């Protein structure tokens, strides 16, 4: 019978290394699974300063439906989507819906330049450290998350193509009726 104590030292070291790596990989998988953004679960809380200078904290928005849109200045679909988001903000604001645009670039001047010719009135926030986009597992630009009145993630949309506004409208209307 072969045991760790009777194996040659280099084989013993390789087995220990393999076991350690397996254990670390398992821990990493469990840790990332615990923090996974899941539909029906509470939206990760955050506070960011808006371009207007106001701090916005997600948990203070309970009772409202929040459409969180992660975007970047280099993203062509983001430029097409912004006017659509403005229309939703204008149409549904009085019904308790807010739109938050979260720029994910470390250099926010590019984001400010991007916004210069867009006439947006919804809050624009900057996540220069990418902390918030990491919490929301943003992997595509743009990414739109819709949070219900109770602070639960209800919808997540990755990317944007013309026609997605129908999906957004359907989701928002459903949440308004609840």
pLDDT digits (tens, 9 = 90+) for 98-121: 999 999 998 878 888 889 889 899
Q: How far is CA 21 from the centre of its chain?
A: 30
d(CA 50, CA 29): 34
What SS3 string covers 108-159? HHHHHHHHCCCCCCCCEEECCCCHHHHHCCCCCCCEEEEECCCCEEEEEEEC
Q: pTM of the predicted model, to two decimals? A: 0.78
Quickly tell me which residue has 């439906």 as its tokens: 65
For range 42-56, the mean pLDDT:
92
Helix axes 76-92, 164-177, angle to 10 degrees: 30
- Over 80: is that where the pLDDT of 51 sits? yes
Whole-number mean pLDDT of the chain? 84
d(CA 65, CA 96): 6
3-state secondary structure of 83: helix
pLDDT digits (tens, 9 = 90+) for 151-167: 999 999 999 999 999 99
């Amino acid at each position: 019978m072969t045991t760790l104590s009777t194996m040659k030292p280099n084989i013993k070291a390789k087995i220990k290394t393999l076991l350690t790596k397996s254990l670390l990989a398992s821990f990493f998988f469990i840790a990332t699974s615990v923090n996974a953004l899941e539909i029906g679960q509470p939206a990760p809380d955050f506070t960011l300063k808006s371009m207007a200078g106001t701090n916005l904290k997600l948990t203070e928005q309970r009772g409202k439906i929040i459409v969180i849109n992660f975007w970047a200045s280099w993203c062509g679909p983001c430029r097409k989507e912004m006017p659509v988001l403005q229309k939703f903000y204008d149409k549904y604001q009085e019904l308790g819906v807010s739109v938050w645009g979260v720029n994910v670039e470390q250099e926010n001047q590019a984001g400010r330049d991007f916004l210069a010719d867009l006439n947006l009135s919804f809050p624009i926030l900057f996540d220069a450290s990418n902390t918030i986009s990491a919490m929301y597992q943003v992997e595509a630009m743009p990414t739109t998350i819709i949070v219900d009145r109770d602070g639960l993630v209800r919808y997540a949309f990755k990317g944007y193509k013309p026609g997605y506004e129908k999906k957004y409208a359907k989701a928002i209307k459903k949440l308004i009726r609840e």
